[in-house]
Amino acid sequence: MNYKIALIRGDGIGPEVVGEAVKVLNTVGEVCGHTFAYTEVLLGGCATDAVGKSYPDGTAETCRACDAVLLGAVGGPKWGSDKPAEQRPETALLAIRKDLGLYANLRPAVLRPAMAEACPLKKETAERGIDLMMVRELTGGIYFGQREKYETEDRGMEAADRMAYSEKEIERIGRRAFELARLRRSKVSSVDKANVLETSRLWRSVMHRLAEEYPDVSYEDVLVDNCAMQLVRDPGQFDVVVTENMFGDILSDEASMVTGSIGLLPSASIGDAAPGLYEPIHGSAPDIAGQNKANPIATILSVAMMFRYSFHLAAEADLVEQAVDSVLAGGWRTPDIAKAGETAIGTVKMGDLICEKIRELHK
């Protein structure tokens, strides 16, 4: 099959990690008989430098003409909060997600077997394993609600951010969670704050309706404060965790940390029709950019997610994940995951080893 992929290399370590992910794509293409055609898309600080805007006109159209989008990372001190909004890289990220209708953010938090020692939790907890999928609503809620800041007569300045959710928004993200659970261990944990928030009570009632439609999937409600505790007490209990935008923002970072390293974690943002966007969860790491020190694994595992969720190539996704596990099991480490005294390898060498392993495993 032929697939069209929009490549957003971005800023900082973005180009380095995307470079390794492209090597992996080409290797899988070669051994499995697929071809990938790439369209380069400028976005973020590099776009501001080139054309004066972080989100150049036509970006969404170019991405829509592709089957999937692979993004490295954007941002850096050069394009900080003192710059006007249209020059800031974060503006571009929010805009592309919105324009492509990417309402579901999927973040797996997996403790890879060879990395168990990197888990900051108790040894017995790590040994039970962690393999959960955080499904975060991405285009609604408080991050997109009306913002206000005004002077009061007697209390100084006051500010407000509105959180709103419609049944339709809740239902579409809920369905995604139940469908994903069917492909995994058939359990959905829906996180809310229904003891306080009206949006959460609506969220819960829609989720209960969906749960009846999916009797083969076990379902539970979890209050957000309890979920934050359970993620460090016993993360192995979770399979698919679905929640609204702000709770998901916070909990997905927490879930990531229990697996040990930011350099290993991929993500996908998907909608109903447009191409999915695949990216590592980390940022542009300006402190190590251009030094061949970045860990490319999160971006390479984002390619595995692209295979699974956009191209429906489950065997190819497994192949990439197995190659990564096998290279890690062989003791190879980039500096971010190397223990004191261990020799670390660079970005390019890590990419090469994973490609080699893909060829070996496919024989």
108 forms beta bridges with 133
* 189/241 Cα distance (integer angstroms): 5
Q: How far is CA 146 from the centre of its chain?
A: 26
Q: Least CB distance from residue 274 to ligand NAD, whole Å?
A: 18
State the minimum distance, in angstroms, from the CB of residue 289 to ligand NAD.
9
Residues 107 and 269: their CA atoms lie apart, in Å, by 9
Q: Quick one: tokens of 304?
A: 């595995």
Nearer to ligand NAD, 232 or 289 (CB): 289
Q: How far is the CB of 200 from ligand NAD (least distance, A)?
A: 27
Residue number with CB closer to ligand NAD (197 or 257): 257
Q: Which pair of tokens denotes residue 183?
A: 């492909």
Q: Least distance to ligand NAD from the beta carbon of 263, Å?
A: 4
User: Residue 8: left if φ>0, alpha if ψ -120 to 50, beta else—which one?
Assistant: beta
Active-site residue set: 143, 193, 225, 249, 253
Choose between 167 and 287: whose C-beta lies nearer to ligand NAD.
Answer: 287
Task: Give least dist CB 191 to ligand NAD, A.
Answer: 22
Per CB under 6 A, residues contacting ligand NAD are 13, 17, 73-76, 90, 93, 262-263, 279, 282-288, 294-295, 298, 336
Closest distance to ligand NAD from the beta carbon of 157 (Å): 26
Query: CA separation (Å) from 4 to 7, 25, 238?
Result: 10, 12, 34
Comparison of 174 and 248: residue with beta carbon closer to ligand NAD: 248
Buried b (16+ CB within 10 A) or exposed e, 68-98: bbbbbbbbbeebeeeeeeebbbebbbbbbbe
User: Residue 10 Cβ, how far from ligand NAD at the closest point, in Å?
Assistant: 6
Check if the beta carbon of residue 279 is closer than 8 Å to that of residue 73: yes
The CB-nearest residue to ligand NAD is 283
User: In this complex, which beta carbon is closest to ligand NAD, that of residue 206 or of residue 251?
Assistant: 251
| Residue 269 near residue 138 (C-beta atoms within 8 A) | yes
SS3 category, 55: coil
The set of residues, in sequence order, having a beta carbon less than 8 Å from that of 250 and lying 6+ positions away, is 228
Q: Measure the CA–CA gap between 258 and 326, rounded to whole angstroms.
A: 21
What's the rounded Cα separation, in Å, for the pair 297 and 344? Answer: 14
Residue number with CB closer to ligand NAD (141 or 296):
296
In 3D space, the residue among 70, 86, 87, 65 whose CA is nearest the CA of residue 78 turns out to be: 87
**3-state DSSP call for residue 161?**
strand
Q: Which is nearer to ligand NAD, 224 or 298 (CB)?
A: 298
